[in-house]
Amino acid sequence: MDFLDYLNKELGNNNIEHHLFLIDYNPNKRVVHCFFEGKTDESFYGTAIRHLLPEHYTFKTYICGKKDSVLYHYREIGHKTSDTQPLLFFIDKDIDDIIPFSVDKSETIYETVFYSIENFIVNSSSLTQVWAEIFRQSSGTKVSDKLKKLFDEAHVEYNNIARTLMAWVLFHRRKGGVRLNLDCIKTTELFAINDNFKLLPSYAGADIYKYLDEKTKVKTEETDYDAIELCLNELSQFEIKHISRGHNEMDFFLAFLKKLKEVTANVDTVTVKPHVEINSANVLDIMGPRIKPSVCLLNFLEKHFSKLDKVELDKSTSEEECSPT
């Protein structure tokens, strides 16, 4: 079989992930098995995992498709985890804790502190990093500091929109009876960013509910507005990244970068342009490995990988004891 045929066979395999795991599973192998929601999750988690993984250990990943599927695999095969061959499961928190909605808890399940992994990327530090590494402009300059300030100001305005959006989501999630398809919402229709990087909301008051209804085919009655306002007051007690949908916040980040590219293209004293095009398809691949891992993630990985270090040490000692003199 040539390599192209091999790729067609392997990449076209539609077996569910836990079957793929069982086919290859050998408790004597030195492997760390990681189960992710989406295809870009490895871009976010992979660098930290590889940096901490002991030598002679293999890193194997499984893309489950969504949060419920990750938890399904945990319930099906999670019991096979061990100190020498851990099965680790990675999920986004979403707002399940606020609805509230019961989710499996385990020392082998890593749940993000923020709504999702995208929330860890969207901040002014990432913006200035893009300015330095993608636009290839110097760090720590007046321009870099100015961009940081403008981004932070626009981010505050976006967060006000995000709270209203998530209050509407929380109301309907608690109400039940309908399945919210939030992917129908086009974030950039909720605001505009002008050439001075000021963010301007597209809707005032309850008009945003009408827009959300139209996009998601959900019905919000005027009599529901007071209940949504109560949800908004409730969410205001949380740090914004704990309740702001990461996909939408990333859309804001990309919109800011798009405007930055447009504005800097008109600079006539020097040439300023991004050397990599960042978009929704590759932003996690580009930015995921660049950001500093959270303390919670590092603690989770070090807790499990410290046991692997002991296995490596015990294996080395055993080999020395068995070596002929």
What is the location of CATH 3.40.50 in the chain? Answer: 3-113+294-322
Whole-angstrom Cα distance, residue 23 to residue 38? 22
304 SS3 class: helix
Tell me the residue type at 267: V
Segments of the chain with pLDDT less than 70: 1, 3-16, 18, 309-325
pLDDT computed for residue 10 by the predictor: 56
User: Which phi and psi angles does 267 have, rounded to 5°?
Assistant: -70, 125
pTM value is 0.89
DSSP states along 123-179: SHHHHHHHHHHTS---TTSHHHHHHHHHHHHHHHHHHHHHHHHHHHHHHHHHH-SS-
pLDDT computed for residue 220 by the predictor: 96
DSSP label at 285?
H
User: Which phi and psi angles does 201 have, rounded to 5°?
Assistant: -65, 145
pLDDT computed for residue 244 by the predictor: 98
pLDDT computed for residue 316 by the predictor: 47
Residue 27 CB contacts under 8 Å (≥ 6 apart), including other chains: 80, 82, 84, 85
pLDDT computed for residue 307 by the predictor: 87
Whole-angstrom Cα distance, residue 201 to residue 187? 11
pLDDT computed for residue 239 by the predictor: 98
Give the closest residue to 122 by CA, choosing from 262, 283, 274, 238. Answer: 283
Q: Which CATH topology does 3-113+294-322 take?
A: Rossmann fold (3.40.50)
